[in-house]
Amino acid sequence: MPKPEFHVFVCSQQRPAGHPRSSCGEKGAGPMMQAFSERLIAKGLFNKVSLVATGCLGPCRAGANVLVYPGGTLYMQITPADVDQIIDQHLVAGEPWLDKVAPDEVWQ
């Protein structure tokens, strides 16, 4: 496998229902991960992008979260419907999709 240009980390943390921090798993991370995988394959980008399911990325209340490197761009409240926009605008065109980029306040 060639060195990827991007790493896309999809928070897949699963906590019990009612947990005070909630979790991205509870907010649809599974279907979103599936959508990323299917669309990266369909667009021929699987060798350009490393897709990684990960544990908690931190700002649980903003989930489901996706973190893209390089750049450390955190996308929040992502659903499968958002996946094409992130792929097309950020991973292909090279510009973060500002509509879903988490503001700095999310980290506080």
Residue 54, both tokens: 């990960």
Residue type, 47: N
Residue 108 lies in a domain: no
Give the pLDDT confidence of 36-75 residue by residue, as tens digits. 999 999 999 999 999 999 998 888 778 899 999 999 999 9
Angstrom distance (rounded) from CA 44 to CA 12: 24
Give the pLDDT confidence of 4-43 residue by residue, as tens digits. 999 999 999 888 888 878 888 888 899 999 999 999 999 9
Residue 30, both tokens: 């599974």
Q: What is the CATH number of the domain that holds 76?
A: 3.40.30.10
Note down the domain range covering 25: 8-80+91-102
Give the chain's domain count: 1
CB 53 within 8 A of CB 12: yes
